[in-house]
Amino acid sequence: MKTIVFFILCFISIANMGGLKAQSAYESKMIEAQQKLNNSKTEDDYNAAADLFSEIATTQKTKWLPFYYAGLCKALAAIKLKTKSADALCNQADGFIHKCDSLNKDNAELYILKSLNFSARLNVNPAARAMKYNKQIHHANDMALKLDSSNPRVYLQKAQAVYYTPESFGGGAKKALPLYEVALEKFKVYKSDNAIMPHWGKDIAEKMINECKAKLLEHSKK
């Protein structure tokens, strides 16, 4: 009887070790792809990072993060492009977002990504697309805030939406600055569940705070 119990315990231990190794391999690939994303500067860079996450997603079909990051890369590539060709990248991002929705629907990070992708579409032609996409951006931001009010990327996206709205419509640097400052404060204390969870945005908040202050200073001198 003792022999059987010992065999069962050994089997469970080996099975658990196998699971840990598989998880470690997944996390290792995710971290490698994240580093590629973090170093991306051009549309081609972001597309290459998206390919890495997409490759991981093909073997990790029940995990939402690889699909999320692939979608994030496509949205960021579209923002870099800022031409009508960006719509094709946004369509690809939508495909990854749809998959995320099926795996982890009520997710603040996913709504933040939706907001980012709508912003990429808006950037193609702000004057012609503002009425359609501003409403969707604000809805996505509000949903993200409802799901996780401590998430700094929610406030970053809200600030971005305000900053790029003309002053005559209630936007601009003066209105956006307090939101960027809230985002930065939340970045300082926000803790992700693990190393592969989204952690982007702090550098953007810092950059935009400086940009807002520079604009306000310039305006005060006029």
What span, in angstroms and rounded, lies between the C-alpha atoms of 135 and 174?
A: 21
Query: What's the chain's average pLDDT?
Result: 89
Predicted local distance difference test score (pLDDT) of residue 6? 34
pLDDT digit string, tens, across residues 36-55: 999 999 999 999 999 999 99
CATH code assigned to 24-140: 1.25.40
What span, in angstroms and rounded, lies between the C-alpha atoms of 72 and 117?
A: 8
Q: How confident is the model at residue 18 (pLDDT cuts 50, 70, 90)?
A: very low
Please state, as a whole number, how many other Cβ atoms lie within 10 Å of the Cβ of residue 176: 23
Q: How confident is the model at residue 23 (pLDDT cuts 50, 70, 90)?
A: low
Predicted local distance difference test score (pLDDT) of residue 5? 38
With 60 as the cut, is the pLDDT of residue 34 above it? yes
Q: In 3-state terms, what secondary structure has residue 166?
A: coil
What span, in angstroms and rounded, lies between the C-alpha atoms of 1 and 161?
A: 67
What are 19's two structure tokens? 């699971």
Q: How confident is the model at residue 98 (pLDDT cuts 50, 70, 90)?
A: very high
What span, in angstroms and rounded, lies between the C-alpha atoms of 152 and 181?
A: 10
With 60 as the cut, is the pLDDT of residue 24 above it? yes
What span, in angstroms and rounded, lies between the C-alpha atoms of 64 and 213?
A: 38
With 50 as the cut, is the pLDDT of residue 17 above it? no
Predicted local distance difference test score (pLDDT) of residue 141? 97
Mean pLDDT of the region 156-167: 95
Q: How confident is the model at residue 113 (pLDDT cuts 50, 70, 90)?
A: very high
